Structure 1
Amino acid sequence: MPFSESSRAWRARHRSADAPGALLLCHGFTGTPQSMRPWGEHQARRGWEVSIPLLPGHGTTWRDLAVTDRSAWTAALAAEARDLISRHGRIVVGGLSMGGALALALAEDPDLAPGIAALVLVNPALALPRAQHLAVPVLQHVVASVGAIGADTRSGALEEAYERTPVRGVEQLRRLQREVRHRLGDVRCPVLLATSTVDHVVDPRCSDLVAERVSGPVERLPLRESFHVATLDHDAPLLFETASAFLDRVMAPQAPTPGA
């Protein structure tokens, strides 16, 4: 499908030195920043600096994604995180689907973790369905692509994503998920975990896995009126407002310890 301006990387900069904070948002597999723009714009109106990068291999053709290694996704997001941390000290990272897995990967990185105050994860993709998990390593050498996985919304809202899904790209996603799952215990920051009751792309039990294994405190937000791309669906206002309140709490200045 043709991609609009909304699918490009997007940033809302704030010159004020007393900006409340910075939010780094990450879109999902085969998607673009368009799925995260409403969330980013909502937070920018509250005075935050917001960055939504376009992940390598996305926003062009599915064939580009077929030849993109998962390390390119993590490197691009980590570079953006370092830039924001260098100016704000601590930031919040939010992610949808694969973006949630990448957000967790940043919080598992010992060099970046001190600068990440919290995570907001929306239907994080931590595992493929079992049949796909077993088949993809072999299938990637036989089949170039399968049908689209984007635009899973109850409202019918359009998500700008590829019309085909490269199987080699899915294999990179599978490997990323495995690596992130093995290090979930290294995530010590607070997590807001938003999960759609009905999701046709990611098993909601992935959220349960995150809640069970991360070391930091977890708050759960059920999304009962949305499918997978909840950032564009009926529950988007609920998600944005809940995330804003969560961000305000985790970024609030801490009172000094008595006697310090």
Structure 2
Amino acid sequence: MAFSELSQPWRSAPHSNPAGGLLLCHGFTGTPHAVRPWAEDHAAHGWDVRTPLLPGHGSTWQEMSASTWQDWYRTVRESALELQREHGTIGVGGISMGGTLAAALAEDPAVAPHIGALVLVNAAMVDSPVWALAPALSRLVPSVGAIAGDIRREDVVEEAYDRTPLRAVGELRALVRRTREGLGRITAPALVAVSPQDRTVPPRSSDVIASRVAGPVERMTLGASGHLATLDHDAEDLFARSRAHLVRRMPTSTETRR
């Protein structure tokens, strides 16, 4: 897969009076391309948005094999802390494993107090027993076919790896299990969006999130989209709901800096 500029880390242009800071996280084997339309939509409405590229992503699947969940988390955590220094309270969102990382930030004692709202789209929170075999199998079969590309729109192609490194699947499993165990520590209001026909992440992941977090939960069904809803038919409705959730739950950036 050839990666374009859309797969690079992105930050919105400065606003003289920003609505607030927003961090958006992409998913496993993907790139910021998956959240770029989401980011651009919110930037157009005044948000200071960042979409980091996770280590091992956007290059080769072999490089991803050498990365760990700690590497991925460290990257989004650094971005969150930087945004918090600028804006005080921030919003955090993500899709797929990006949603898992967003939830992990909301469990982090150093980061969570300054997260005003979460938006979790088809976030991975249920691991598969098959995942447990991935690290051992990786010694024999380093990679398998792509898991990316679950999009119902025929005119959209996700910029992601065409191979899935099995060693990295084991890292994903560790991240999911760790984050699921800490869901009860999340107090930030969460918008939890799910595609019932998701072929990548079990839709019941959204039920796990909604039933375990301590903060208020709003739910949204993405009935016309596959896993990559941010690039699919429900994208505009999702973005509008995301904006409304952030505005309702978060103070303005000016208020948080007082």
Same fold, TM exceeding 0.5? yes
Contact conserved, 1:94 with 1:100, CA < 8 A, in 2? yes
The separation in 2 between residues aligned to 1:143 and 1:186, in whole angstroms, is 38
Dislocated runs of 4+, deviation >3 Å? none
The separation in 1 between residues aligned to 2:227 and 2:127, in whole angstroms, is 14
Aligned-pair CA distance for 1:221: 0.2
Q: Which has the higher contact order (CA 8 A, sep 6+)?
A: 2
Q: Counterpart of 1:60 in structure 2: which amino acid?
A: S
Aligned-pair CA distance for 1:252: 3.8
The answer as to 2:133 corresponding to 1:135 is: yes
Aligned-pair CA distance for 1:192: 0.2
Aligned-pair CA distance for 1:15: 4.0
Aligned pairs for 1:101-180 within 5 A: 101-130=100-129, 132-156=130-154, 157-180=156-179
Greater Cα shift, 149-158 or 159-168: 149-158
Alignment correspondent of 2:191: 192
Alignment correspondent of 1:27: 26
The separation in 1 between residues aligned to 2:142 and 2:35, in whole angstroms, is 28
Aligned pairs for 1:203-214 within 5 A: 203-214=202-213
The separation in 2 between residues aligned to 1:239 and 1:218, in whole angstroms, is 15
Alignment correspondent of 2:3: 3
- How many residue pairs get aligned? The number is 251
With normalisation by structure 2, the TM-score equals: 0.95
Aligned-pair CA distance for 1:69: 1.1
Alignment correspondent of 1:215: 214
Alignment correspondent of 1:257: none
CA RMSD between the two structures: 1.0
The answer as to 2:50 corresponding to 1:51 is: yes
Aligned-pair CA distance for 1:141: 2.6
Aligned-pair CA distance for 1:133: 3.0
Contact conserved, 1:14 with 1:47, CA < 8 A, in 2? no
Aligned-pair CA distance for 1:139: 1.6
Alignment correspondent of 1:100: 99
With normalisation by structure 1, the TM-score equals: 0.94
